[in-house]
Amino acid sequence: MRVLVTGATGFLGGVVARELAASGHEVVGVGRDAVRGSALGEAGVRFAALELRDAAGLTGLIAGADAVVHSAARSTLWGRWADFYADNVEVSAAVARACAGAGVRLVHISTPSVYNATGLTHNIPESTPLGPPQSPHFDSLYARSKYLAELEVQAAYPEATLLRPRGIYGPGDTSILPRLALALRAGRLPRLDGRGEVHTELTHVRNVSEAVRLALLRPAPGLFNITDGVTIPIWATLDRLADALAVPRPTRQANPRVLEAVARVLEGVYALHPRRPEPPLTASGVRLLTRGMTLDLTRARQRLGYAPVVHPDQGLEEAIGAVAHA
């Protein structure tokens, strides 16, 4: 199968492109970073440098594929709405329209961040009501933009498969564990588990890649939650990371509600800056450490045949080791 992978110079897209190539598919990886793009060639992935806002160039590449994995996104908790809308909503809509027009299978990577403001935390199903998209209750611009992207994709191409992987981690991760490691090394991460341990689910990058592989083999339209299928304790894991880094475990207690309020004030102040730099603390970041979330995987198991190939015990040991020795 000829598969086009967007965001192939990023963390998830790179793993997906390499694993699909290793399993015998003819893979074209799309991205902006030529240096990382050249490294993809060593794994049998043909690199195509492209700005995804170039609709004509994107349509041309898609026309030559059998399937598209759209993993490119502006994935951050901070930024300008115009950029989130252009990169996440408009590009996703263009990809879906091009795939629908060419009859090309589409696997779109979304996020369970869309659930963050629902108030639900346990065994959340894909059928959970989320809208309207103008709601102020999406807890980040990123979450709102990804929900709007889902609506655009489903409207343009109802046969598309949309995956919502929770907290992607693994070797090569540039976000979750590296950011936490930076905060631990700087000694500026307070302890926010005053009410007890917080349990959540994450998803090893190879498990996301496995879900993509299955979605390509077993076309199934609609939304699918994806995780490792096992809950992990956030603060015990942070202690484990601190030990691996040979730095003190966080001990200074802070009230999560107070810290979240402080973060909102900081966000307001930083938003006034002409360049809108990212504040040192965001409300969404606080919530990620204080509010657990587990997802219902029934649909993915039944419709895609999904089963994690990496257990979090193995995955976290590998990922923590990679960060500690970086």
Mind telling me the catalytic residues? 142
Burial zone of 269 (CB within 10 Å; 0-12 exposed, 13-18 middle, 19+ buried): exposed
Query: Do the bridges between strand 232-233 and strand 199-200 make them parallel or antiparallel, or are there none, so unpaired?
Result: antiparallel
DSSP 85-147: IIIIIIHHHHHHHHHHHHT-EEEEE--GGGGGGGS--SSB-TT-----TT-TTSSSHHHHHHH
Is there a contact between 161 and 224 (Cβ–Cβ < 8 Å)? yes
Query: Do the bridges between strand 46-49 and strand 67-70 make them parallel or antiparallel, or are there none, so unpaired?
Result: unpaired
Query: CB under 8 Å to 125, separation ≥6 — which residues?
Result: 225, 295, 296, 298, 299
